[in-house]
């Protein structure tokens, strides 16, 4: 199982939110590049970078910082946040990111996604941001008409097999992952599931691994020093 270190960027700072609520923002660093270098040196398989300003639909100047990270580490980078049309997607893809997380666009404009999947199928990661099995979009502010299992089935038919499942009610709470939902989607071995939200201990990591997740994202637990990447890697 691959271990991804999360770097959420807002106004140029590395932050963590709780349940996606901007009012809960806690700043951990004003130097995202150094944070990226740190997680890479500690053995992360990949960085998971989110441009929160773009995700919330605000004007963002974080892309230059993210580009600097790309050229400062020698591990793959998965990027997400505000990638809501083909133009933005292709701009990001040309920069050299390994994986690109798509949320709102996938649910609002399937035709655009279908065209992108022909050229970038393996780069695309579909975001499954869920509350009680229902997908949320637009920075977790709006509900889509999709349930998690329905979304996976739909996008599998487009040849997409990478999915990022985030439990919104668990995110940033350090209260453990949503094992029930993760277990329900990992019965489908055609899909690679990245688990996110609530991971706070080695036991959580073992539980996520045992149900067949392809990857796990470590966020707040890293920044609060509850987890160490090397120790997680040893059991992942």
pLDDT of residue 132: 84
Asked whether the whole model's pTM tops 0.85, one would answer yes
Distance (Å, rounded) from C-alpha 84 to C-alpha 102?
7
Nearest to 160 by CA among 189, 128, 120: 120
* pLDDT at position 187 over 80: no
Q: Which of 129, 171, 178, 204 is catalytic?
A: 129
24 — phi, psi (to 5°)? -95, 5
The three-state (H, E, C) secondary structure of 120-157, written as one string: HCCCEEEEEEEECCEEEECCCCEEEEEEHHHHHHHHHC
| pLDDT confidence bin for 189, thresholds 50/70/90 | low
Distance (Å, rounded) from C-alpha 229 to C-alpha 222?
8
Cα distances from 147 to residues 45, 127, 129, 161, 184, in angstroms, run 30, 12, 10, 17, 12
6-26 exposure pattern, b = at least 16 Cβ within 10 A, e = fewer? bbbbbeebbbbbeebeeeeee
Quote the DSSP letter at residue 204.
H
Active-site residue, 145 included? no
Q: Which of 8, 13, 53, 178 is catalytic?
A: 8
* pLDDT at position 49 over 80: yes
Quote the DSSP letter at residue 159.
T
The mean of the pLDDT values for the chain is 94
Active-site residue, 129 included? yes
What residue ranges do the domains of the chain occupy? 2-235
202-214: average pLDDT = 96
pLDDT of residue 123: 96
Give the helix/strand (H/E) hosting 108.
helix 104-108
Residue listed under structure tokens 């701009």: 91
Structurally, what CATH architecture does the domain formed by 2-235 represent?
Alpha-Beta Barrel (3.20)
Per-residue pLDDT reduced to its tens digit, 104-154: 999 999 999 999 999 998 999 999 999 988 899 987 878 888 899 999 999
């Amino acid at each position: 199982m691959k271990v991804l270190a999360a770097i959420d960027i807002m106004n140029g700072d590395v932050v963590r939110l709780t349940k996606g609520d901007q009012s809960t923002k806690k700043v951990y660093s004003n130097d995202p590049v150094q944070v990226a270098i740190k997680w890479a040196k500690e053995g992360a398989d990949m960085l998971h970078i989110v441009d929160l300003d773009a995700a919330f639909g605000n004007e963002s100047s974080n892309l230059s910082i993210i580009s600097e990270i790309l050229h400062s580490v020698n591990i793959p980078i998965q990027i997400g946040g505000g990638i809501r049309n083909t133009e933005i997607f292709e701009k990001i893809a040309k920069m050299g990111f390994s994986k690109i997380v798509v949320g709102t666009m996938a649910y609002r404009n399937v035709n655009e996604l279908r065209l992108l999947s022909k050229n970038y199928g393996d780069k695309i990661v579909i975001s499954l941001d869920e509350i009680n099995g229902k997908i949320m979009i637009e920075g977790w502010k709006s509900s889509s008409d999709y349930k998690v299992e329905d979304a996976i089935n739909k996008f599998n038919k487009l040849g997409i097999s990478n999915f990022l499942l985030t439990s919104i009610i668990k995110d940033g709470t350090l209260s453990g992952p949503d094992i029930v939902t993760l277990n329900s989607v990992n019965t489908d071995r055609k899909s690679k599931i990245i688990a996110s939200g609530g991971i706070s201990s080695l036991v959580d990591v073992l539980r996520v691994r045992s149900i067949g997740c392809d990857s796990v994202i470590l966020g707040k637990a890293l920044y609060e020093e509850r987890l160490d990447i090397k120790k997680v890697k040893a059991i992942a």
